[in-house]
Chains A and B, each alone.
Chain A
Amino acid sequence: MKGVVLFIDDLQWSDIATLELLKSIVLDREIPSLLIVGAYREDEVPE
């Protein structure tokens, strides 16, 4: 397998834990060949 695409949809309904986890995974250089795609409704992101 050449790589993994991880798509997380509707991030406007996610939670702090998810965002923390996303951050730490994006910054993790030990994970090879990973493309993370996130989608969110820009007008529904809570403050």
Chain B
Amino acid sequence: MSGTNTTHRSSSISSSSAGESSTQHLAEIVVTAAQHNQKSSNIVQLRLSNLKLHGRENDIKLLRGKLRELAKKKDGDAAAEENNNHEDTNKNNLILVSGTCGTGKSALIQKGLGKDASKIGCTFTSGKFDAKLRSPLSAFSDAMTNLARYITVEHEKKGKSPSGGLPIATLIRDQIQNEFDDDDVEQLRRVLPGCAELLGARRSSLFGPSSEAEAAVPHRSASGSKLDSLKRHSGKESISRVHYAIRRLLLYAHI
């Protein structure tokens, strides 16, 4: 036991000499804590977040159960369509985990769901809000950026695209540009900065309205009717736009 302590301690000290003040500060806390606590090796391990979760078996079971349901749902979709039974299969699940600071909420979800999701063919994407950076939708934007990157990489890896030889990013971009007008796309670009590739370059600002863009107008108004109704109904236009873009992205994630 004491042997491990020494190793951990020396690694903390060496990282403090690297010069980063926050690392140094953290290292000092760990060393101080280690000197005052017999279970010092646990403290260091916590910092490395290699600890196994204890006493969370029931919570993990519940989370993994939901994960399995999610994976099964896709297989069940076709059967449900035949029976015209969308009610049960198309429900999205929402799990809320609450607790005070430091009770292990994030660790539970990362370890209980994040690691298992890829094993059963699901994608795990996450984002977190920041107390100092109060930017609306920031966590959503981060999570969607991760997902967009994942979709692009996955489809390139597979070396095939759902229709024709076009890369997936191009397909999504074309679809979004057909269904949103330039102002909408501009706003989406602000809200989801990491999805720039999927949202495409600014279309008409440099070259003026091209014949291509004009030709796309009737098509856009036809397919965008659903979006228009979403917009008018809620009066919360920006949320509807983001919602619609996220729906697109999630639909493509399932191809």
Binding site for B on A (CB under 8 A): 1-15, 17-18, 20-22, 24-44
Contacts of B254 in A (CB 8 A): 1, 3-4, 32-33
Further contacts, 15 of them, CB under 8 A, given A2-B71, A3-B121, A7-B113: A1-B122, A1-B253, A2-B70, A2-B122, A5-B122, A5-B123, A10-B130, A15-B137, A21-B239, A29-B86, A30-B251, A33-B71, A36-B94, A37-B97, A43-B100
In the complex, the chain A residue whose C-beta lies closest to that of B71 is A2
Interface size on B, residues (CB 8 A): 62
Say whether A35 contacts B95, CB under 8 Å.
yes
Distance in angstroms from B85 CB to nearest chain A CB is 12
Contacts of B73 in A (CB 8 A): 2-3, 32-33
Distance in angstroms from A41 CB to nearest chain B CB is 5
B41-69 with Cβ < 8 A to chain A: 63, 66-67
Say whether B92 contacts A39, CB under 8 Å.
no
Say whether A4 contacts B253, CB under 8 Å.
yes
Listed stretches B32-40, B194-202, B216-224, B241-249; interface member? B241-249
A29 to B91, CA, bound (A): 6
Q: Can you list 20 A-B pairs with a CB-CB distance of less than 8 A? A: A1-B122, A2-B120, A3-B121, A3-B254, A6-B143, A6-B147, A7-B143, A8-B126, A9-B109, A13-B131, A18-B139, A28-B247, A29-B86, A30-B251, A32-B251, A35-B92, A35-B93, A37-B63, A37-B113, A39-B97
A23 to B251, CA, bound (A): 18
Say whether B154 contacts A7, CB under 8 Å.
no
In the complex, the chain A residue whose C-beta lies closest to that of B255 is A1
Q: A13-B131, A17-B239 are in contact. Are A5 and B250 (CB under 8 A)?
A: no
Distance in angstroms from A24 CB to nearest chain B CB is 5
The A/B interface has a contact count, at CB < 8 Å, of 188
In the complex, the chain A residue whose C-beta lies closest to that of B101 is A41
Contacts of A22 in B (CB 8 A): 94
A24 to B137, CA, bound (A): 14
A4 to B77, CA, bound (A): 15
The 8 Å CB contact of A5, one of B124, B128, B255, is B124
Say whether A31 contacts B251, CB under 8 Å.
yes
